[in-house]
Amino acid sequence: MAPPLAGIKVLDLSRMGPGPFCTMLLADFGAEVIKIEQPGFGIIPVDVDEETWAAYYAIDRNKRSITLDFKTTEARRIFHGMARTADVIIEGFRPGVAKRLELDYETARELNPRIIYCSLTGYGQDGPYHDLPGHDINYVSIAGALSAMAIRDGRPAVPLNMLGDYAGGGLQAAFGIVSGLLARDRTGRGQLIDIAMVDGVVSLLSWEASVFFAGGGVPKWGETPLTGGVPCGCVYKAKDGGFISLGCFEVKFWENLCRALEREDLIPYQFAQGDEKEDVMAQLEQIFLTKTKEEWFQLLSPKDIPITPVLELDEVFSDPQVVHRQMVVEVNHPKLGKVKQVGIGTKFSETPGEIRNTAPLPGQHTEEILAELGYSGGEIARLRKTGAIG
């Protein structure tokens, strides 16, 4: 059975992080994604050659690549030809850039009224901040998420870019695109989808916002139940220097923990505050320092207690649950053999996603794609000579 997005053609003009993550999700479920790259653009964060990096770079898997220099009229004309038969265009330029390059929604809509066009930026296409440059750290800051995260050396700890770029941006964009495609099935018309990573992060704070609007105050790290501010929901250090996390928010789970530790006297202090909280947490810390994080997990998890070790990344991909759920997979590469990549997070019973190929090299499919558009070998050679294609 064909995957859910089979037959959907996506033109990906985005560059780093959230846009490519979005199109990886679409490609994993069958969309034909064509990366449109600019000559000379690319970052390899580890000391390997370009082909090895592409083999492991999961975010660009299941895609083809064409290199176009949009400073040239010919390259823009090629894009316009591609847009006529595409279903989706996603771009991550700063507002106004796509219009200047004639790659904007209005241009695409004239060529193809059914196009779903997604603009993915930090602050959105309008508003007082729309033209500000930024990165994940800026988006989670302005959205109020960073101030509620763990404190390190007296200041908010900077997280990985999963919250702003990927959850606030890439996931929101993928959801928006698929929703836009469903709407198009009913109306026959495409539309513009304006994704701002700040908007996405704010929406992820819906619980905290609800508490605040209802009069619950501003959540501060270490002061609320969901930020480690209660004995039953916190991180404790173990004997080996690692950590375990507790999530015993329901009474029965907290009681199970206290009984397993032979400390039923702590049952009344599940949500202790003030000096009582500090005393209970200090006692738990001393208890947890007597065994390693793995020993505690093996001892307590079978007793219906929400406890897990805090894993480092090099431990995650050997964890039995992660392995069982196929969140680390081996993908065939024509030169390197089997390479490991992160798996597909969403599981479908009838139309599962699949990893069909590893990431392409920049421009690897330029000639192939141009030939599909009807360009002859001579025309392709001329375009390469003019610098329109890489």
Four-residue CA torsion sign, 360, 361, 362, 363 = negative
Phi then psi dihedrals of residue 322, to 5 deg: -65, -40
Residue identified by tokens 């449109």 is 36
Category of 30 on φ-ψ map: left (φ > 0), alpha (ψ -120 to 50) or beta: left
Catalytic residue flag (residue 165): yes
Paired sense of beta strands 116-121 and 88-91, if any: parallel
Of 80, 130, 135, 333, the catalytic one is 135
Question: Tokens 């990549």 — which residue?
Answer: 341
Does residue 135 have an active-site annotation?
Answer: yes
Q: What residues are paired with 192 via a beta bridge?
A: 117
Contact in structure between 260 and 266 (CB atoms under 8 Å)? no
Q: Which of 12, 87, 165, 199 is catalytic?
A: 165
Backbone dihedral region of 75: left (phi > 0), alpha (psi from -120 to 50 degrees) or beta? alpha
Catalytic positions, please?
135, 165
